[in-house]
């Protein structure tokens, strides 16, 4: 995207409502925006100018605005929707934990939305956090998925209390759950094996956890 194109939209915005912003607003709101607050005529006018300008750029964009909410711009009109079975939208934001670093993000929160067009899935969305710095037993690139893995193993009958104490987890005995979690993150081969088992069991028709049932 050319920065000059954005400057052009800014100039048009200033030209169209430059004087209006210096005058008293109309006291009556014309509705409620996606952000939850009142929408006044100048709010809608400003966003309409910006969104129209972005649409005219002919580039794929996802706009998140206070009034209109989330809006996708895709060149070619509706053609790309009919040319694809699935659309995947991925968003990411940095997460700072001052206990680890006051400057550098320690995690990346990634959220995604899958929308269908030709297959029997209406829409599904989820999010996960991936370590960008080693902390809390996690190495760079790892996700804190122990609770999720535990929930599936419990559903499959592979995460139970031992008869004489401790825990039987995926065929091995552990005095505490934290020892299993440490192995899950520190032993790459073991972690890959356990996660592969969970995925394979799900694909083979194992029980799925209801949304919100696992973290």
Return the sign of the alpha-carbon dihedral for residues 66, 71, 74, 77: negative
Q: Pairing relation of β-strands 38-39 and 31-32? A: antiparallel
- Cα 178 from Cα 50, distance rounded (Å): 52
Q: What is the pLDDT of residues 167-190, one digit of tens each?
A: 999 999 999 999 999 999 989 899
Cα-flanking dihedrals φ and ψ of residue 138, to 5°?
Answer: -90, 140
Average pLDDT estimate for 83-109: 83
Q: What is the pLDDT of residues 4-47, one digit of tens each?
A: 888 888 888 888 887 666 666 556 778 887 777 888 878 888 88
- Cα 80 from Cα 84, distance rounded (Å): 6
Residue-level length of the chain? 215
Provide the 3-class DSSP secondary structure of residue 214. Answer: coil
Q: Rounded to whole angstroms, what are the CA distances from 127 to 11, 39, 149, 206?
A: 37, 30, 15, 22
> What is the model's pLDDT at position 76?
59
Q: Rounded to whole angstroms, what are the CA distances from 196 to 83, 153, 190?
A: 32, 12, 10
Average pLDDT estimate for 72-81: 64
Q: Rounded to whole angstroms, what are the CA distances from 43 to 51, 63, 94, 147, 203?
A: 12, 16, 29, 44, 49
Nearest alpha-carbon partner for 143 in 186, 105, 107, 89: 107
Domain boundaries, the chain: 1-75, 84-140, 145-215
Q: Is the pTM of this model over 0.75?
A: no
DSSP symbols for 45-105: HHHHHHHHHHHTTT--EEEEETTTEEEEE-TTTTHHHHH-SEEEEEEEEEE--TTT-SSS-
Asked whether residue 87 carries a pLDDT value surpassing 50, the answer given is: yes
Asked whether residue 164 carries a pLDDT value surpassing 80, the answer given is: yes
């Amino acid at each position: 995207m050319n920065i000059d194109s954005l400057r052009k939209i800014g100039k048009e915005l200033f030209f169209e409502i430059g004087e209006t912003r210096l005058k008293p607003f109309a006291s009556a709101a014309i509705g409620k925006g996606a952000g939850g607050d009142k929408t006044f005529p100048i709010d809608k006018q400003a966003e309409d100018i910006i969104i129209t300008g972005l649409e005219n750029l002919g580039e794929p964009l996802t706009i998140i605005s206070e009034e209109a909410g989330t809006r996708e711009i895709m060149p070619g009109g509706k053609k790309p929707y009919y040319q694809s079975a699935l659309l995947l939208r991925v968003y990411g934001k940095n997460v700072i934990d001052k206990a680890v670093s006051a400057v550098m993000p320690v995690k990346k929160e990634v959220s995604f939305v899958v929308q269908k067009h030709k297959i029997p899935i209406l829409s599904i969305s989820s999010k996960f956090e991936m370590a960008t710095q080693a902390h809390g037993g996690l190495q760079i690139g790892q996700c804190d998925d122990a609770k999720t893995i535990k929930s599936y193993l419990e559903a499959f009958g592979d995460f139970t209390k031992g008869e004489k104490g401790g825990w039987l987890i995926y065929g091995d005995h552990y005095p505490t759950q934290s020892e299993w979690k440490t192995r899950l993150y520190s032993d790459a081969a073991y972690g890959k094996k356990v996660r592969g088992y969970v995925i394979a069991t799900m694909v083979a028709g194992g029980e799925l956890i209801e949304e919100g049932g696992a973290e």
